[in-house]
Chain A
Amino acid sequence: MSPAVAVMAKDLRLAWRDRAGWASAGAFATIAVLTYSFAFDLATGDVRPLLPGVLWTTFLFAGIFAGGQSFARESEEGTFDALLLSPVSPTMIYVGKATANVLAMLAIEFAQLLLATILFGTSLVSPELLVIVFIGTVGAVSLTTLLSTMSASMRGRAMLLPVMALPLLVPLLIGAVRATAASLDLDAGTAPWTLLLGVFALWSTLLSVLLFPLAVER
């Protein structure tokens, strides 16, 4: 078994055993969608123009929240130091952790899409939209995984992570919201925005894979 797969399996097993962490991220996402629906009165009128923004801000906040939490536990228990001491390349550790986070985030996002489909009477589970959500999640989580590793050992990390992550994620947010809007026929053509999203996902994955070993080297 490749070390990356082992790290991923370990993270997913931990996430499953200690469901509270990811469950609270899921609960947070649900409550965020509900909060938006009260704030913008999504119950009446045509809600579809607002949906892409509501969904993606929820996904990003939930992702940052969950990512920060998963690493906080690791640094408290000293697991992360043990992982770094093991004869496994840091790149493998990063790939394993990022994959586990992407999978967990996708589960939360899929649940939110189903929920929003029911709540807002708009079909959100189309293949096109699922591809957009997948690419956007890879792009966002690869970056937040790197940033949450780094901020895990810092004071005030709960505040720091969103402050660091969100400005960097501006291109992703723009691309994801526009591509989602286009897939709901609110905007012209998904292609350019999906391309922007794809380029960002590629950029953030490559750069995170390259920078992670440098960040944790000691």
Chain B
Amino acid sequence: MITSTLRNLYGWRWLAIPPVTGVAVMAMIIGALIVAPPEAIEGDVQRILYLHFPSILAAYGAFAVVFVASIVVLWRGDLRYDAVARGAASVGVLFTGLTLATGALWGKPVWGVYWTWDARLTSTLVLFLIYAAYLLARAMADELDEQAARFAAVFAILGAFDIPLIMFSVTWWRTLHPQPIVLRGLERPALPPEMLIVLLIAFLGISALAVWLGVLRTDTELLAKRTAVLRATIDRREGA
């Protein structure tokens, strides 16, 4: 029942997701650039928040999908979920990278540096590296290699369980150290309502974009698997 509903929903993906994404992303751009008021101290630079914050949330969502899909790969041995995990991982890496990049662009005018070894920055970078390694590991084996899919799934699960340890240890590592003075102005007051609404719209737009990209990547992976199967069949027939 639930699976068939899900499958029906998945069948509608090309009709539903792109228009929603388009409208939401346009609304986000207009909201972030025109509607939202400039921040009192940071000025226009603060507008990068509307891209920065939703991006990391989308990345976390994508990594959660990788985790669940990886469990299904190990549990059922279903390679379609390997495609889902790969698709979600590429989206997660993309949006983590976007978070790091927008953070650096914001950091230069506000903190005075592009990068600082703050706990949150460092753990986000490690997160980026773990899932980039996942994509590399999976890319180095065939699409149809079930063993490689299992290995990648095990690695993804290891990575997911490592995240709390990394966050904890990196926080400890930094807080037992003197904090750089530039970081002190971080505690921002609660956002005024206009900013919050734009942020919500941005969150919607980025989420829709992430889902769309994830679905695109997953479909590409599934097609690549089918192509590999077809190629193997042709090779066998020609050999016979």
Contact = CB atoms under 8 A, between A and B. Distances in A.
A191 interface: no
Contact of A151 (B126, B137, B161, B165): B137
A163 B136 contact: yes
A112 to B, nearest CB: 24
Interface string B51-71: 000000000000000000000
Task: Name the interface size band of chain B.
Answer: 20 to 34
Contacts of A143: 158
A211 interface: yes
B150 A153 contact: no
Given A153-B147, A154-B148, A171 B154 contact: no
Contacts of B141: 153-155
A157 to B, nearest CB: 8
A71 interface: no
A47 interface: no
Nearest to B167: A171
Contacts of B154: 146, 150, 211, 214-215
A203 B147 contact: no
B161 A170 contact: no
Of A203, A215, A217, which is in contact with the most chain B CB atoms at under 10 Å from its CB?
A215
Given A174-B170, A211-B158, A218 B146 contact: yes
Given A160-B136, A211-B158, A214-B150, A174 B129 contact: no
Contacts of B133: 160, 163-164, 167
Interface of B: 74, 126, 129-130, 133-134, 136-137, 140-141, 146-148, 150-151, 154-155, 157-159, 161-162, 165-166, 168-170, 172-173
- 5 shortest A-B CB distances, which residue pairs? A171-B169, A150-B151, A167-B129, A215-B154, A171-B165
